[in-house]
Amino acid sequence: MEKLYVSLTNSNAPLAFTMIPAYSFIAIEGNIGAGKTSLAQKLGNELNARIILEEFEDNSFLPKFYEDARRYAFPLEMSFLAARFNQLKKQLMEQDLFQQFIVSDYVFAKCMLFSKVNLDEDEYDLYLKLFEIINLQLRQPDLLVYLHNPIEKLQWNIANRGRAYEQQIADAYLQQLSDGYIEYLHANQHLRILFVDCSNLDFVNNTDHYQNLLRLICKTYTPGIHYVNWLWEE
C-alpha cells in the first residue's frame, strides 16, 4: 500500500490551472454518509463530466428495510441489483462528444458488499451467483476513490442530511459495512484505488481541502491501494 502525505493548508488560494484527470471513468465509494454524492457532483461540475448518481430514493423497499430488515432485505438487494445494472449499463455505453469524463457515486460491487451484510447465507449465495454473471458485463472504473470515515462522523453526516428512514442506523451496521469495504479493497488491488481518510477532511465546505483532493484524483496511479495521509500546516 502506497502512502501519500498531503498538506492541508489554510491559504484559500484558487487552483492555478484547470485540472485534467488521468482517467475517463472515476467512481466514488464509501459507507453510508461518507459524502459520495457530494464529491461526485463537485467533481462532475469541475471536470464537465457526465455524473452518474445512484437512484436510491426511488426504491420503495428502502424505508421498509430499515423498519424490518429481515423481511425486506432480499427484495431490497434484488431491486438494487437490477436498478444499478440498468443505470450503469446505459450510462457507460453512451458516448458524448462534449463530456470526456464520467464520475459515478457508486460502483456495481456495492451490490455484493451490502448483500453480504444484509442477507442470510443461503440468500447471499444465490445473490452472489447472479451478481457475478452481471458484473462481467459492466465496465470497471479507471480510478476508485474510497472515502473512509470514522463511525462517529458518518452518524453526524447521516443526522444532518435528515433522511427520516436513516436516523436509526446502528453503529454496528455501519461498522459491518466499513469492514466489508476494506475487505473488498484489499481483495481487488488490480484496480487503481485512492483510499482517502476523511477524518479531518471537509471537501464540501473547505475550498483548500477540496482542491487538495482534486489534485490527488487527477494524478496517475499504478494498480493497488494508494492511501492518503493528510498533514496539517498553519
- Whether the predicted pLDDT of 11 surpasses 80: no
Digit-coded pLDDT (tens) for 92-107: 988 766 678 999 999 9
Q: Would you say 25 and 102 are in contact if contact means Cβ atoms under 8 Å apart?
A: yes
Digit-coded pLDDT (tens) for 214-226: 999 999 999 999 9
For helices 171-187 and 110-118, angle between their N-to-C axes, nearest 10 degrees: 130
Q: What is the mean pLDDT of the chain?
A: 89
- Range in 14-28, 119-133, 139-153, 189-203 with the lowest mean pLDDT: 14-28
Q: What total of structural domains would you count in the chain?
A: 1
Distance, in Å, from the CA atom of 119 to the CA atom of 158, rounded to the nearest integer, reads: 23
Q: What does DSSP say about strands 224-232 and 192-197: parallel, antiparallel, or unpaired? A: parallel
Q: Provide the CATH number for the domain around residue 90.
A: 3.40.50.300
What pLDDT does residue 3 have? 62
Query: What is the side-by-side strand order in the sheet with 224-232?
Result: 2-8, 224-232, 192-197, 143-148, 25-30, 102-104, 50-52
Residue range of the domain that includes 10: 2-232
Render the burial of 137-153: b for 16+ CB within 10 Å, e for the rest: ebebbbbbbbbbbebeb
Distance, in Å, from the CA atom of 160 to the CA atom of 162, rounded to the nearest integer, reads: 5
